[in-house]
Structure 1
Amino acid sequence: MKSVEIVKAPEGHSGSGFFATSFDEVIGIARSNSLWPLPFATSCCGIEFMATMGSHYDIARFGSERPSFSPRQADILMVMGTIAKKMAPIVKQVYLQMAEPRWVMAMGACASSGGIFDTYSVLQGIDRIIPVDVYVPGCPPRPEQVIDGLMQIQELARNESLRRRNSDEYQQLLQSYNIQ
């Protein structure tokens, strides 16, 4: 049996021909339904992402209509596959070029923890260089898992306060990664 997600209407006041709600609610709904992913694919997880983009799974129905290949126009950095230590500065630079608010998804065992490659040349998880919001497990993860991760990021985008990114806690997190 297929489960159906019921989207609740934003809280507010309605009357004859109008609906009033908070600005944060409206922005959250708009953000969550128009996320543009930036795929940073290096191996087999990239192939699974292509399957997720295809017509059978179609992540366009979640507002990710087109992948962005410019960091300045992307909302989600999706790191997929093995990241060599020499690539770490590039991943960090791509992250820094993204505008706020930005979210990061580590897709697959290699991006999350280095996977089976416990060697000197492989980064043992991208969370050592940039903050990660959602981890998608698997080697490679199935398209359903990728969609679940995308839905988790949608939930973060919908409920995140517009002021969170300016908080001291968030700034300390960025400083812990040497990101200004």
Structure 2
Amino acid sequence: MWQILRQIARTGIVSEPAPRMDDTMRLEAGRLQDEILATLGQALTIREVDAGSCNGCELEIHAINNPYYNLEGLGIKFVASPRHADMLLVTGPVSRHMAEALRRTYEATPEPKLVVAVGDCGCSGGIFGESYASCGRVADVIPVDVEVPGCPPLPIEILRGILTAVKRDAGAPRR
């Protein structure tokens, strides 16, 4: 045990430093909250749906919940039921077994509803494409408002995708 403790003391901290938060990011975060409140008149609630991903995108989505990005401070919350959601955040290529569940989740989400496809798999089917086990991209199953490419996309890109969806919805006629 003493060998392990000495090894830890010799090695020190090996994690990378946190990314710098510049003033433009703070201003963008403030604008995001203002736009969400102006558009929806309330906080934005999101239901995240894993339609068959490798969980890489989920890790980045969890990262936007940490204190660095302070998602809840922006008035954005994740909910467990699509009936309480304003937006669906969908990851992964839609597996054949998840297609019906995704459609039902979409139908259960009240109007006005937004859909953001996250990751290369959600946007284009990724390396999986369409096959006997996969329906391909999210847009092949439900309508998508915004796509956030990347494998996996950075948390800030996911946040920008959410902002883009809210901005587009502000000027768009209701479905």
- TM-score interval, normalised by the smaller of the two chains: 0.7 to 0.9
Q: Which residue of 2 aligns with 1:36?
A: 45
Paired positions, count: 145
Deviation at 1:143, TM superposition (A): 0.2
Q: Which amino acid aligns with 2:151?
A: C
Q: Is the 8 A contact 1:107 1:141 kept in 2?
A: yes
**What amino acid does structure 2 have at the position aligned with 1:53?**
N
Task: Report the Cα distance in structure 2 between the residues aligned to 1:33 and 1:56, rounded to whole angstroms.
Answer: 23
Residue 58 of structure 2 aligns to which amino acid in structure 1? G
- Pick the aligned partner of 1:120 from 128, 132, 138: 132
Distance (Å, rounded) in 2 between the aligned partners of 1:136 and 1:32: 25
Q: Measure how far apart 1:154 and its partner are.
A: 2.2
One-letter identity of the residue aligned with 1:75 = D
Q: CA RMSD in A?
A: 2.4
Q: Is 1:46–1:81's contact at 8 Å kept on the other side of the alignment?
A: no
- Output the CA distance in 1 between the equivalents of 2:46 and 2:134: 24
Give runs of aligned pairs for residues 1-180 of structure 1, distance below 5 A: 2-3=23-24, 4-5=27-28, 29=38, 31=40, 34-41=43-50, 42=53, 43-64=55-76, 66-118=77-129, 119-160=131-172, 164-165=173-174, 170=175
Q: d(CA) in 2 for partners of 1:34 and 1:86?
A: 32
1:47 maps to amino acid: L
Which stretches in structure 2 are left out of the alignment for 5+ residues?
A: 1-21
**C-alpha distance in 1 between matches for 2:158 and 2:66:** 13
Question: Aligned equivalents of 1:32 and 1:152: distance in 2?
Answer: 17
Give the deviation of 1:32 after TM superposition: 6.5
Deviation at 1:103, TM superposition (A): 0.3
| Structure 2 residue matching 1:36: 3-state secondary structure | strand
Q: Deviations over 1:13-67 (max 9, x none)?
A: xxxxxxxxxxxx9x97051761100011242211110011111112223321x21
Measured in 2, the distance between the counterparts of 1:58 and 1:153 equals: 19
Q: CA deviation at 1:156?
A: 2.6
For the residues of structure 2 that align with 1:108 and 1:32, how far apart are their CA atoms? 29
Contact kept? 2:47, 2:82, Cα under 8 Å: yes
Q: TM-score, normalised by structure 2?
A: 0.73
- C-alpha separation between the residues in 2 aligned to 1:109 and 1:58? 25
> Which structure is larger by alpha-carbon Rg, 1 or 2?
2
Q: State how far apart, in whole Å, the 2-side matches of 1:34 and 1:28 are.
A: 6
What SS does the aligned partner of 1:135 have? strand
Partner of 1:178: none
Provide the rounded CA distance (Å) in 1 between the counterparts of 2:125 and 2:63: 23
Q: For 1:103 and 1:28, how far apart are their aligned partners in 2?
A: 15
Structure-2 separation of matches of 1:121 and 1:2: 45
